[in-house]
Amino acid sequence: MSKVNLKELSLQDERLTGGHRLCSGCGASIIVRQILHATDDPVVVGCATGCLEVSTTIYPYTAWKDSFIHNAFENAAATISGTEAAYRSLKRQGKIDEDKEVKFIAFGGDGGTYDIGFQSLSGAMERGHNMVYVCYDNGAYMNTGIQRSSATPRNASTTTSPAGEVIPGKTQFRKELTDIIAAHNIPYVAQASPHNFKDLIRKARKAFEVDGPAFLNVLSQCPRGWRYPEDQAMDIMRAGTDSCFWPLFEVEDGEWKLNHIPKEKAPVTDWLEPQGRFKHLFKEGNEDLIEEIQEQIDKRWEELLHKCGEK
Amino acid sequence: MSNQVALTGNEAMAQAMKQINPDVVAAYPITPQTEVVQMFSQFVADGAVDTEFVTVESEHSAMSATVGAAAGGARAMTATAANGLALMWEIVYIAASTRLPIVMPVVNRALSGPINIHCDHSDAMGARDSGWIQLYAENAQEAYDNAIQAVRIGEHEDVRLPVMVNMDGFIISHAVENLELLADEDVKEFIGEYTAEHTLLDTENPIAVGPLDLQDYYFEHKVQQAEAMENAQKVVVEVAKEYKNLTGRGFEYFEEYKLEDAEIAILALASTAGTAKAAVDKLREEGVKAGLLKLRMFRPFPAKEVAKALSGLKAVAVMDRADTFSTIGGPVFADVRSALYDVKSDVEVVNYIYGLGGRDTTVEDLEFVYNDLQGIVNSGEVNKRVKYLGVRE
């Protein structure tokens, strides 16, 4: 696989056009564009109900240059698995040219992936369809107005886990969906972030190349839900990986590999402090809450170092 | 060349699916449909079909994958029953509004709760407003015939709608009967090759399926869907005629059994129609002018034709194997009575809700209904419009 070259990327056509209605600074469109730069083949895109879907295909317009299907909220994986099955069937019967290569990709937010679409995703991965599933994980149901999901980090204030006088935001840690999908023993699973586009595009290339299902869990910034000025996004995302809140790793044929080991692990406050959803944690008396988050992140990082053979 | 065989309803349905040879089947097993999926799996394992079989983890995913496949230009099928259909619900509506000609056998079973695995029509009747064409069968032969015709009806360019092929759970699905199968090549020729006009896999001409459709277009699209249902009425007749030429079997919207000179009649769909025929024969011997209208197509509802067939009668009992809990009768009753309103007929129409959860409905039960109708004719009075047949007090 050749190296990701920024100059070459800049010459490629965008497959998701401008004029879509996602918020300024949204991570989803950036992630989609980076990922679609990773293949030259035509793709069929499936999309779960969510920000990306409602903002890119408002009838009679579409921002997608490739074929696109939205079915419902919880079934992007099942839907695209059906289209992939159609492709295999028609190709085998000679109804589609045998030289024609089509890639299949589904996008879902964390709501459509970690929660309501979890079963459909697990089924599609287990069945072994040749498809890529991408979760753009912005850590809440942003499309319906910032409600908590099982991807919402602990103590984040959302509209259904608000920071109140008694309860300091969401009381649970987020679930490690990337690990759960890795446990399906599929050819390729990775966690990525769009601030490191070389890493993300390389992973997307690999995801498209493997024969069988691939899953990418991509951290997706959300200025509205995370509450920060849009121009700080890339710094925040970098803090997310440097603090090891969002480790960059991949699991290829069962081999775990860390893709970014910070020289010096940044304190989790670098990640938390710029975001309004964590503002209450910095009030006097809440120091222990930050400590608990730090402990959890440290524990998880140690686990990953072991899994990836770094320790 | 057709072939005389003894098969259960499920076996006949599996044979129909094999002969249709869909590009994709995505299905999940549920009693009493399970055998259909099992037998079809064996056809796939033996290479007897070209189908890509998607062994989904739920009925919700079964319908979702079928929608994905059909949008990719495949001839796609699934099959289900009862709670399986209920779990699909959301996507059942999406399949119809996306105008995908999916064919789905439904082996009718009581919808929970309480949980029950036996026959009634509460599953399919709940989906009556989902935009699917619905066909019902008296026996395995008709279920098989309906499945083959459903492909042509749904795929017709003026229709492009999904079709539910209903078959009574256990009563038909698990009972053996003699029936005629078409030769494979006759089915192939009858249904023809399927070429979707727009597909996701025509990547040189990309399309967007299922976009967000707001106040300025949604309504028009729903009316187009209603127009397709109107068109289906014409197409169902055309396809039925062609099928009759091929097989000598079948009818269009309904079968009239000794209805022409009848004074009282039952309107029923599915296997109960067979039981009603036996009751009619018995009563005719006694000189009672009893008849039957067996409805084959419930969606779209052939209101004009049903009204015409019933308007000259004195009393009609509409049999519903499902309740609406509206307290004013079952789903078929509501449509039949509404249809008769337009023709200003004097016929008295009553409703019997019967056979829920697989409660056996016998010839004697239906004789009781005919006697009830005779009583209405004699007295000129209806003491109760909606009754439950054979329920213990």
Task: State the ipTM, two decimals.
Answer: 0.97
For A120, which residue in chain B has the nearest alpha carbon?
A: B61
Contact residues, chain B, for A95 at CB < 8 Å: 23
Mean pLDDT of B238-267: 98
What would the mean pLDDT of B361-380 be, rounded to a whole number? 98
Residues B74, B24: contact at Cβ < 8 Å? Answer: yes
Distance from CA of A28 to the nearest CA of B (A): 18
Mean pLDDT of B369-382: 98
What's the pLDDT at A3? 84
**Residue of higher predicted confidence among B99 and A6:** B99
Residues 6 or more apart whose Cβ sits within 8 Å of residue B142: B250, B296
Contact between chains at B68 and A83 (C-beta distance less than 8 A): yes
Q: List, in order, residues 6 or more apart from B350 with CB less than 8 Å away.
A: B315, B316, B317, B318, B372, B373, B376, B382, B384, B385, B386, B387
Asked whether residue B344 carries a pLDDT value surpassing 80, the answer given is yes
pLDDT tens figures, A96-106: 999 999 999 99
CB contact under 8 A, B64 and A79: yes
Residues of chain A with pLDDT under 50: none
Share of chain B above pLDDT 90, in %: 99
B344: exposed, middle or buried (Cβ count in 10 Å: 0-12, 13-18, 19+): exposed
* Residues of chain B positioned with their CB less than 8 A from the CB of A126: 57
pLDDT at B171 over 90: yes
Which tokens belong to B46?
């033996």
Q: Is the pLDDT of residue B102 over 70?
A: yes
Give A81's contacts in chain B (Cβ within 8 Å). 54, 61, 65, 68
> B55: which chain A residues are within 8 Å (Cβ-Cβ)?
127
The residue among B128, B142, B85 whose CA lies nearest residue B301 is: B128
Residue B125 pLDDT greater than 70, yes or no: yes
As a whole number, mean pLDDT of residues B127-154 equals 98
Which of B193, B209, B219 to mutate to probe the A interface, most A CBs <10 Å? Answer: B209
- CA-CA distance, B303 to B315, in Å (whole number)? 17
Average pLDDT over residues B122-126: 98
Compare all CA atoms of chain A with the CA of B208 and give the residue at the minimum distance. Answer: A68
Architecture of domain A19-307: 3-Layer(aba) Sandwich (3.40)
Q: Which domains does chain B have, with CATH numbers?
A: 3-191+229-247 (3.40.50.970), 254-388 (3.40.50.920)
B-interface mutation test, from A47, A89, A133, most B Cβ less than 10 A away: A89
Between A and B, how many residue pairs show a Cβ–Cβ distance under 8 A?
167
Q: Please report residues of A whose CB lies closer than 8 A to that of B213.
A: 59
Q: How confident is the model at residue B1 (pLDDT cuts 50, 70, 90)?
A: low
Which pLDDT belongs to residue A9?
A: 87
Tens of pLDDT, residue by residue over A259-302, are: 999 999 999 999 999 999 999 999 999 999 999 999 999 999 99
Residue B94: its chain A contacts at CB < 8 A?
Answer: 71-72
Find, in chain A, the residue whose alpha carbon is nearest to that of B22: A89
**Which chain B residues contact residue A120 at CB under 8 A?**
57-58, 60-61, 64
Q: Are B59 and B87 contacting, i.e. CB atoms less than 8 angstroms apart?
A: yes
* A59 contacts B213? CB cut-off 8 A: yes
Q: Residue B359: pLDDT band by 50, 70, 90 thresholds?
A: very high
Closest Cα of chain A to B78: distance in Å? 12
Q: What is the pLDDT of residue B302?
A: 98
For B62, name the nearest residue in chain A, comparing CA atoms only.
A78
Please report, for chain A, the start and end positions of each structural domain, with discontinuous segments joined by +: 19-307
B contact residues 72-111, partner A, Cβ 8 Å cutoff: 72-74, 76, 90-91, 94
Specify the DSSP element, H or E, that contains A252. Answer: strand A249-252
Using a pLDDT cut of 70, give the percent of chain B over it.
100
Residue B392 has pLDDT above 90, yes or no: yes
Nearest one of B153, B161, B165 to B226, comparing CA atoms? B161
Q: Is B287 on the interface with A (CB under 8 A)?
A: no
Q: Which residues of A touch B26 (CB under 8 A)?
A: 82, 85
What pLDDT does residue A283 have?
A: 97
**Who's near A169: CB < 8 A, 6+ residues apart?**
A154, A155, A156, A157, A158, A161, A162, A163, A277, A278, A280, A281
User: Considering chain B, what is the average pLDDT of its residues?
Assistant: 97
Q: Between chains, do A102 and B56 touch, taking CB under 8 Å as contact? A: no
Contact A119, A143 (CB under 8 A): no
Q: Give the pLDDT of residue A123.
A: 98
Q: Who among A54, A65, A86 is closest to B73 (CB)?
A: A86
Which chain B residue has the Cα nearest residue A63?
B208
The shortest C-alpha distance from B214 to chain A (Å) reads 7
pLDDT band, residue B42 (cuts 50/70/90): very high
Q: Which two tokens stand for residue B274?
A: 């067979």
Closest chain A CA to residue B98: A71
- DSSP alpha helix (H) spans, B8-139: 9-20, 34-45, 59-71, 82-97, 122-126
Helix B218-247 × helix B82-97 angle, to 10°: 110
